[in-house]
Amino acid sequence: MRKVEELTEFGELYRASRAVSHRGWHAGAELGDRDGDGTMLAYHDSGDEAEYVFRAGERPLFNIMNGGHGSPPDRYGYRVWTLRPGVAGSVGPRVGRLEVAGTDGEAVAADIVAHTFAVNIDIGPRPRTMDEIFEWRAPELTVRVFDKGDAVLYEGPLLTEDWSGERR
């Protein structure tokens, strides 16, 4: 219950005053607009992580990942957490830059904040009904991951079967 209260407070402070830290929680990369519709990734000093969803006129919603989002982004340097309204996730310590190319081939650079990234790229219309949600297929996007010296660590499909950046 304590985490829920902390995240609720942090989300409201972040939206109202652009606070970037509160009770051990820190703002990561964001998609869209925190005053309208958007997503923000957050992490805690303990290793817990969260994903906020902001909608105009509503309180922020969030998902808590106790102990983190999953396996660390090591082999390809990244891990995808969400696909709405763009692409967001985490990057490993070797990553200096990440970009995603849409179906038109145009690359969009990611904003990297701490160990999180966000790419505001069009991935198609948002599903509105349950049928559309289950029928929706992500477009084929390409990711290029660079190390801090600008050498390519990985170039290939953004999404794999488990969205983790690790092939099976």
Q: What is the mean pLDDT of each run of 10 residues along the chain (168 residues)?
A: 82 76 88 78 88 85 78 76 85 93 89 92 77 78 94 89 48
- The pLDDT of residue 138: 74
Name every residue whose Cβ is closer than 8 Å to that of residue 96 and which is 6 or more positions away in sequence: 146, 147, 148, 149, 150
- The pLDDT of residue 7: 80
Do 73 and 93 touch, CB atoms closer than 8 A? Answer: no
- The pLDDT of residue 100: 95
Structure tokens of 156? 């290939």
Angle at 64 between CA 59 and CA 65, to 5 degrees: 160
Distance of CA 56 to the CA centre of its chain: 19
Do 91 and 165 touch, CB atoms closer than 8 A? Answer: no
- The pLDDT of residue 165: 47
What is the rounded distance in angstroms from the CA atom of residue 163 to the CA atom of residue 161?
6
